[in-house]
Each structure stands twice: as structure tokens, then as C-alpha cells.
Amino acid sequence: MTRTLRILIVEDEMIVAHDLQLRLRRRGYATSHARTGDEAVHAARALQPDLVLMDVGLPGGCDGIAAACRIRQESTVPVVYVTASLDGATRRRMEECPFDGCVPKPFVGEDLETTIAKVLAQRQDGQV
């Protein structure tokens, strides 16, 4: 029996989070949701997801990049960033800690699903 893979969606925009949940559930993934960086760190610790889909721009003192760094200090869970801003400063900050993929917003075609499937397959093959 195959276990359902769990994805933690970290997104402060409720419409985007809902869309992501629908897209991923249609693909057979179980999803959980966090709205802030601090919530994401706690959820990752408690839920131990198979992948974290992390919005870069989150409100509060802990944005998506800071949250991803904190999560990766405690776990090897893959992190895929989703962001509407890929300027030079954001890219440099993203390189501060390991991440496994990045998908620009708005999502085009199957880019999001393809990236997630690729990262999860690499993890299962021991490449992540």
C-alpha cells in the first residue's frame, strides 16, 4: 500500500492557498496550510511533511526564506519556493540555505506540479 504524500503549503494569501490545496489534492497529495513563517516552522515540526511549498513573501518577522532556513536546520524536508519576486536581492537571500526548487507566480501550466513531482522523485531516489 502506498502512503499518501503530505505537502505543507505556506501561503498568506487565502485565495492562492485554496487554489494550491485544490490543485495538489487533485494530484493525490494530502495538504496542510500555514500562513506565517512561524506557523510554518511549527507545522513542519509537528506534521513532518514530505515537502514544504513555501511562499517567499510572508508577513511578520519571519518571511518564507527565514522560515525555510529554520525548517532545514531541523529537517531534510525538501523546500520548494513559490514567489512573485525573483529580483537579485531575493535570489541572494534564497541561496542562504538549501532549497530544492522554485516556481514563479503566477503558475503557468503544469510548472508547479512538475517541480513538485521531480523533487519528490529525487527524494525517493535518495538524491535530495
Per-residue pLDDT tens digits for 49-81:
999 999 999 998 899 999 999 999 999 999 999
Q: Using pLDDT thresholds of 50, 70 and 90, give the confidence band for residue 127.
A: low
Whether the ω angle into residue 98 lies within 30 degrees of 0, i.e. cis, is no
Q: Which domains does the chain have, with CATH numbers?
A: 6-120 (3.40.50.2300)
Q: Which residue has the higher pLDDT, 106 or 128?
A: 106
What pTM does this model have? 0.93
Per-residue pLDDT tens digits for 26-43:
999 999 999 999 999 999
CA–CA gap between residue 128 and residue 119 (Å, rounded) = 8
Instruction: Say if CB 37 and CB 52 are below 8 A apart.
Output: no
